[in-house]
Amino acid sequence: MSMLAEKTKRAINTFLGAAGLELRRTAPKSSPPPLYDEPVEAISRIRSGERAAILARIDRCVTFNGFSLAPNGWHPFVDALRETITTGQSDYLGSRLERFYATWQPANAQEALLGASSGPNWLASYPPLLMHAPWLEATPDEQLASIRRIIELENASFGLMDTKHDGGHGLLGPTSVAKGELEYRRLLNVFRSIESHGYDRNHGDITGQVLVRNGDYRFRIVHGQHRVAAVAALGYEHIALHPKRLVDRKYCQHWPQVYAGRWSADEAAAFFDHLFCFDSLEWAGRQSLGPDV
């Protein structure tokens, strides 16, 4: 592609991004990978060179820190969409999402994990958007740099060229008004598209980490928070998920960050259990963010 063509493409994408849209190639794509109910089977097939995805239960999907997409759980995006469904709310200002960003503003990465017991003390010296986990290969500094790059690339792709990572993160406050409006616009656009046309896997599956504990699973969403929130609000029971890794609790003493001495095995296991047991609906009620407020 010539330099002029590349600049033109970027300009078009910036314009469309400002409207919450995206330029996509129209060339034929291969069909989405087949779905498997059993996560281990899907991951085994991927490792053997096959294409596969997991038919993941929505009620087993969580965010990086434990917000649950289950019907009896709580997730800020799902909460905002349920407000739209029940009241017709369509403006960011005055929405439940704006209230979430204004209400929950963790001071550091330890608080962002929804409990001081959820991680080692050194997390308190990092900003809340770190999203570190003991099974990651990346160091905290590498992980933080990656997250900041992703935020800035996403902002730019949707027209916020001058909004850097300090403008806020989609799953915690504080955020700038521009960032909040961007996240809300993206959320409503995805929701309305799926509501009108159904979920189209040709745009790509969401991605996540598969967490295993005594035969039970949680799917820690990595990319696709807006999509999974939309299908949860619409009452879907499953979502197609591309697994990034399989993490089994029984091997916590062998996880990279435990080997590196950044997490103890006990801290790692406690955080892992948190993602299975955390009552995000009860937490939201304590923050005056619950659905009955």
Q: Are the C-beta atoms of 97 and 180 separated by less than 8 Å?
A: yes
Contacts of 258 (CB under 8 A, 6+ apart): 134, 252, 264, 265, 268
Per-residue pLDDT at 96: 97
Over the chain, what is the mean pLDDT?
89
Residue 34 DSSP code: P
Tell me the sheet residues that pair with 208: 221, 243
Compute the distance between CA of residue 141 and CA of residue 147 in angstroms, rounded to an integer. 10
Lowest mean pLDDT among 53-62, 164-173, 223-232, 255-264: 164-173
Tens of pLDDT, residue by residue over 79-110, are: 999 999 999 999 999 999 999 999 999 999 99
In a domain, 3, yes or no: no
Residue 255 — pLDDT band, cuts 50, 70, 90?
very high
In a domain, 105, yes or no: yes
Whether the pLDDT of residue 1 is over 50: the answer is no
Query: How many structural domains comprise the chain?
Result: 1
Q: Are the C-beta atoms of 191 and 230 separated by less than 8 Å?
A: yes
Residue 157 — pLDDT band, cuts 50, 70, 90?
confident
> For the residues 172-179, what does the mean pLDDT come to?
94
Block residue for tokens 């929701």 = 191
Tens of pLDDT, residue by residue over 27-44, are: 346 899 999 999 999 999
In a domain, 2, yes or no: no
Residue 15 — pLDDT band, cuts 50, 70, 90?
very low
Task: Give the residue from 68, 210, 62 showing the smallest Cα distance to 135.
Answer: 210
Contacts of 157 (CB under 8 A, 6+ apart): 13, 14, 17, 22
> For the residues 172-194, what does the mean pLDDT come to?
96
Cβ-based neighbour number of residue 256 at 10 Å: 15
In a domain, 36, yes or no: no
In a domain, 99, yes or no: yes
Backbone angles phi, psi at 57, to 5 degrees: -75, 130
In a domain, 195, yes or no: yes
> For the residues 58-81, what does the mean pLDDT come to?
97
What pTM value is reported for the model?
A: 0.87
In a domain, 143, yes or no: yes
The first and second tokens of residue 94, run together, are 């005055």
Residue numbers of the domain that contains 72 = 57-286
CA 284 to chain centre: 18
DSSP assignment of 184-238 equals HHHHHHHHHHHHHH---GGG--EEEEEEEETTEEEEEEEE-HHHHHHHHHTT-SE
In a domain, 90, yes or no: yes
**CB contact burial 163-188 (16+ within 10 A = b; e otherwise):** bebebbbbbbbbbeebbbbbbbbbbb
Compute the distance between CA of residue 167 and CA of residue 4 in angstroms, rounded to an integer. 31
Compute the distance between CA of residue 214 and CA of residue 178 in angstroms, rounded to an integer. 43
Tens of pLDDT, residue by residue over 202-232, are: 989 999 999 999 999 999 999 999 999 999 9
Give the DSSP H/E element, type plus range, for residue 247: strand 238-248
Whether the pLDDT of residue 262 is over 90: the answer is yes
Per-residue pLDDT at 56: 98
Helix boundaries (H) for 19-50: 39-47
> For the residues 144-157, what does the mean pLDDT come to?
90
Q: Are the C-beta atoms of 244 and 90 separated by less than 8 Å?
A: no
